[in-house]
Amino acid sequence: MEKIDWANLSFGYIPTDYNVRCYYRNGAWGEVEVSSSETINLHMAATSLHYGQEAFEGLKAFRCPDGRVRIFRMKDNAERLQSTCRGILMPELPTDLFCEMTEKVVMLNERFIPPYESGAALYIRPLLIGTGAQVGVHPADEYLFVIFVSPVGPYFKGGFSTNKYVIIRDYDRAAPLGTGCYKVGGNYAASLRANRIAHEAGYSCEFYLDAKEKKYIDECGAANFFGIKDNTYITPKSTSILPSITNRSLQQLALDMGMKVECRQIPEEELSTFEEAGACGTAAVISPIARIDDPEKNLSYVFSKDGKPGPLSTRLYQRLRDIQYGIEPDTHGWVTVL
Ligand SMILES: *Cc1c(COP(=O)(O)O)cnc(C)c1O
pLDDT 10s digits, 157-182 = 767 889 999 999 999 999 999 999 99
Which residues, 6+ apart, have CB-to-CB distance to 298 below 8 Å?
Answer: none
- Please give the pLDDT value at position 268: 98
Give 226-280 pLDDT, tens digit per residue.
999 999 999 999 999 999 999 999 999 999 999 999 999 999 999 999 999 999 9
Task: Report how far ligand 1's centroid is from the alpha carbon of 151 (Å).
Answer: 19
> Ligand 1 in contact with 58 (CB < 6 A)?
yes
Question: Is it the case that residue 307 has pLDDT exceeding 90?
Answer: no
Bridge partners (DSSP) of residue 302 are 291
- Assess whether the C-beta atom of 236 lies below 6 angstroms from ligand 1: no
Q: Cα(129)–Cα(131) distance, rounded to whole angstroms?
A: 6
SS3 222: coil
- The yes-or-no verdict on residue 2 having pLDDT over 90 is no
The rounded distance, in Å, linking the Cα atoms of 268 and 286 is 21
For 156, the 3-state DSSP assignment is coil
Nearest CA to ligand 1 atom 12: 222
270 exposure class (CB count in 10 Å sphere: 0-12, 13-18, 19+): middle
Percent of the chain with pLDDT over 90: 91
| CB of 281 closer than 6 angstroms to any ligand 1 atom | yes
Output the pLDDT for position 8. 87
Q: How many CB atoms lie within 10 A of CB 231?
A: 12
Ligand 1 centroid to 26 CA: how many Å? Answer: 32
Parallel, antiparallel, or unpaired: how do β-strands 163-167 and 232-236 relate?
unpaired
pLDDT band at 1 (very low <50, low <70, confident <90, very high): low
For residue 281, report the distance from its CA to the centre of ligand 1, in Å: 5
249 lines ligand 1 (CB under 6 A): no
Distance 86 CA to ligand 1 centre (A): 18
Does the beta carbon of 246 sit less than 6 angstroms from any atom of ligand 1? Answer: yes
Question: What pTM does this model have?
Answer: 0.96
| Res 7 pLDDT > 90 | no
Q: Among 249, 235, 265, which residue's Cα sits nearest to residue 317? A: 249
pLDDT at 155 exceeding the cut of 80: no
Nearest residue (by CA) to ligand 1, atom 13, is 222
